[in-house]
Structure 1
Amino acid sequence: YQWRQTITFRSCQHGDAWRDVKPTQLPSVDGVLAMYDSNEVMRFTMTNKIGDVNGGEPEENPCFTGRRGCDTNAICRPEQGTQFTCQCAAGFNGDGHICYDVDECREEPQICGFHAVCNNHPGTFRCECEDGYQFGSDGRTCTALSRPVDACEEGTHTCDIQERARCTYTGGSSYSCSCLPGFSGDGRTCQDIDECQAGPCHRDAECYNNEGSFTCQCAPGYYGDGFLCTPERTKTRCQSHRESLLSVTEYGPRGPRPSSGHYIPRCDENGAYEPTQCHGSSGYCWCVDRNGQEIPGTRSEPGSSPMCVEHGGLRPPVGPTPRPDVHPLPPGTHLLFTQSGRIEHVPLEGSAMKKDDAKPVLHLPEKVVIGVTYDCVEKMVYWTEITSPSISKASMEGGDPVSVVRSDLGSPEGIAIDHLGRTVFWTDSVRDRIEVASLGGSQRRVIVDSDLVNPRAIVAGPPSGNLFWTDWNRDALKIETSYMDGSNRRVLVKDDLGLPNGLTYDRHSFLLCWADADTHAMECMDPARGDRRKVAEGVRYPFAITSLGNTVYYTDWQREAVVAVDRHTGEETDQFQPQKRTKLYGLTTTYAQCPSGQNYCSVNNGGCTHLCLATPLGRSCRCPNDA
């Protein structure tokens, strides 16, 4: 602070003692007291005296005659006669005529003590405490502030891992731990609950316990969701409607027979309502929607038929089918793999591949399908193809393929889904970047586009909010990870890699596994600990990889097969070669029920207006690139 003041002196006109007072007077300061903080001066007092510039002597004070040449930061001291000396004030050095500031902070680095910062000022210095510290009771020593710590946010809590437990901040420096649904314990240690012991599945179904959840799968020869299994497939609305009317009987002379004169709906070969329905007795015809409801204004006179538009019905296959016996995925866990022009599935019984039940689920002529992934929420399969670069999807319960992304793509290859945050991620090995979009293809954003040369495989860990991918850069092969918003990017593996093709993340063991087509090895590691170990050697030419329990599955170009390997022993346990002998590309696992878990984007899009991208301790709200 700099203090400026003007003192005005006026003698008493009635006092005889002041009649001879000279007009120029000298103020002298006896004492100053100042109290202030960083924001304001709180108290300031000064004691002054006013007197003759010559101190009562008849001679003029040489320090006030205007002839002195002292520095502005010096004190003039009068001596005999007209003599005077100049002396630099405290905090300055020099001969008095020229004075230099003394930098106390540089000359005595520890002058302010620990956890303090020294700031030099003209003629003095000032000590300030570092962030997180304040002056103690002595006004000189910096002591640490006692501030609340959110251990849940900072990750310093003692709760079990976030896949099994939830940390809840309760104010101050307190928090509580609780196990997620499907687990039991005190929150600091949570054990999986074996729901299968309670027998939740149908009597004609098998129960498979998972980490934090379970799945039910109907036994061979039965159909359903595992909670209800029947020897026959569930009837469609049209089939049930038709059978209910045909069951109505009337009695005539020859006994019971089907009722006549009633409208009986017609169903197509897939059990859907035919677009044109007619009354058998009256001859009237009309158009119906997919629910069998008459479309107003379409009823025609007897003898004529209206032009009704096909509404698709409930066709079992997705898109054009290569064989008439192709059906949608039945309930249960399956492997989906891609070949040139098609996507096929292999049902799993435990970890064993049911090869006799393997069938195509999607036929895509003249397309080279590379990556494949599955959305367990809406039962949709997503894939990338490079012939006319695009990302598409189709329902496993029937319907035509739908394009998700078609523009500004070079060579989309790896693809992954966050089923909790409802986003899709993919790698582009021509554009050299990783992108994200909503599952419908909107809200598109580039999240990684630097230091990438040939990104290929990508997998997501939705509950943890992490991404993992491989980069084929011949000069710097690597496997990397980041949060789902692209932040906290780091290299996990960079040594002893050749062609890291396939990549998979196991949600139970938290292991990241990959298959290398150059080193002919399969390896796994815990990304949190960095412990790397070989699972299998002598693998010929793996392309894609996925895991289920202790079994790792991969597609092999040379063997043209899906191969199963025990992750613990490294032994090959099974292989499946499809009828069409060509190279196999992408591979993924589909579940009858979504894996348990949640992230910060699971509910209400995390409160974001556009993209919600999960991170281990929260979420990032991001705008699409075209916003």
Structure 2
Amino acid sequence: MFTIDKTCISGHLHCSGHPDCADGSDELDCGSIITKCNPKTQFDCGGGSCIPLAQVCNGRQDCPNWEDEPKDKCGVNECLINNGGCSQKCVDMPAGYHCECNAGYKLVDNTTCRDINECEIPGSCSQICINEKGGYKCDCEKGYLRDPRNLTKCKAIEGHASLLFARRRDIRKISLDHHEMTSIVDNTNSATALDFVFRTGMIFWSDVTDKKIYKAPIDEGNDRSAVITDDITTCDGLAVDWIYDHLYWTDTGKNNIELANFDGKMRKVLIHDDLEEPRAIALNPVEGWMFWTDWGSNAKIERAGMDGSHRQTIVGYDVRWPNGLTLDLMKKRINWVDAKLNIVSSCDYNGGNRRIVLASPEFLRHPFSITTFEDWVYWTDWDKAAVFKANKFTGLEAQAVTPSEMVQHPMVIHVYHPYRQPDCENHCQAVNGHCSHLCLPAPQINKHSPKISCACPEGLRMLLDGLTCVQDEITTTTDHEKVSNRTTTFTENYIPKNSNTTKEQIETPDDPGIVAGIAIVISLLALTILGIAVYCIYRHYADRNVTSMNFDNPVYRKTTEDQFSLEKGKFQPTRPYLSTVGEEAQHPLTSANTNDLPY
């Protein structure tokens, strides 16, 4: 190469970390240099021209301007002087030299080696990673042991993990050891969302046709009972709090998130604002957080405390149809599947360190639900009608757990294992946390955060003590009595202590005209409030009917055996949409942009 002063140096000396030109120009603009020659086997003549090292310093011209025959470099071993300035290895070359690093280190410039932090590389260890100088070591959390076949991986000590998933007409379980499939609950109409309490062996599931939430013992699945039977529309997502014994669910018909106890009593709406199409929901009662997805026009993933406080959006960009969501309690991360972008993604609980685990239209044709255990993520796919898995860190080794087209209408899936629901102290157990009704876990924002929060079921209000719920006072006295009582109270409060005037002397008879005027004012005020309420309800449903026309994530809501109904707007498309999902998704929600259809 030519320097600023037009002198020539060997191409391999450009950006070598040592100024070889008098003006130092060979070390300028090095950030944009892309080396195409392999320094271990080739010599760089400059301009992207490479020759074998054997042709360097052989007395013949092999580079255009004799760069391969530098007289001051040939036969000189620069490594003999101060190790060539290298912090670790100095490798002498026929013309010049270069620096190398020991295993576990990397060059941060051309001479300095720095330790590689392998723990920053996803998947270096399954669980605990300890960085060391020039290397690292792995360890496992309590309840796990390192796999003797691969010491970077951790395996559960106890239990045999299974996959528990809804299949619309039934609920099934697949053993991960032998891939044996068994039926847990038969003869369901449209089983969709589900979860379990491993401690009691109870499973919960929603049926979007029955518009109910059921529960049953996992070993006697047909001994079912209804938990939520009314005021529920379309429950796409359901999660159990296995520590405080509460059931949480999303309702995409009412656009809210509700909770109740395991008997369906003491129901409470936790989130009801700014929800368009809430679907999956996952809980971490150990730290008091809940997470959910929303595939509306502004698709996002949100979190809030399990008492409904501290709500925030944690994923608000590059997300379209976040159908499934699961928590990795060991790594403190969330994983989700996006059916529009055909990806599995992951991030921290607060939305940081986000990355794509797997992007594959082949394995992620139309994923609906996702779960995780040990080093794997598992998901259901509508188009493939199967269950798949892949490495949760790298997305590698993606493969089918069940043969394609074998699991018709796969819906929500969970790994059934005790480690998916770790034990933790129930801070409400002692006297219900002093709460009169609902005692809920509070989000653990810092070490000073309260452990629990009291809440009231629908129809009750909280007193100022933050513990007691009461019904709103119902006044049965007449307007005449109210005026009379107020007059009496005023008079009693203002009788001078030293006065000889009696209470009877101060009271005056009520004026019928005043009473009538007050009654008229109260009536007019009530009519005005009623009119405003009716108008707001009308606008709410009008907006919902318009909004529902903008989405095209397929739905599966079935009202009869042969006909489907869209829950929003009751709109039926004028032409059929081809689908390989099966009955549940033959008619996607219509979209103004026909080019944006999922098939």
How does the TM-score come out when normalised to structure 1? 0.46
Structure with more helix by fraction: 2
TM-score relative to the length of structure 2: 0.48
Greater strand share, 1 or 2?
A: 1
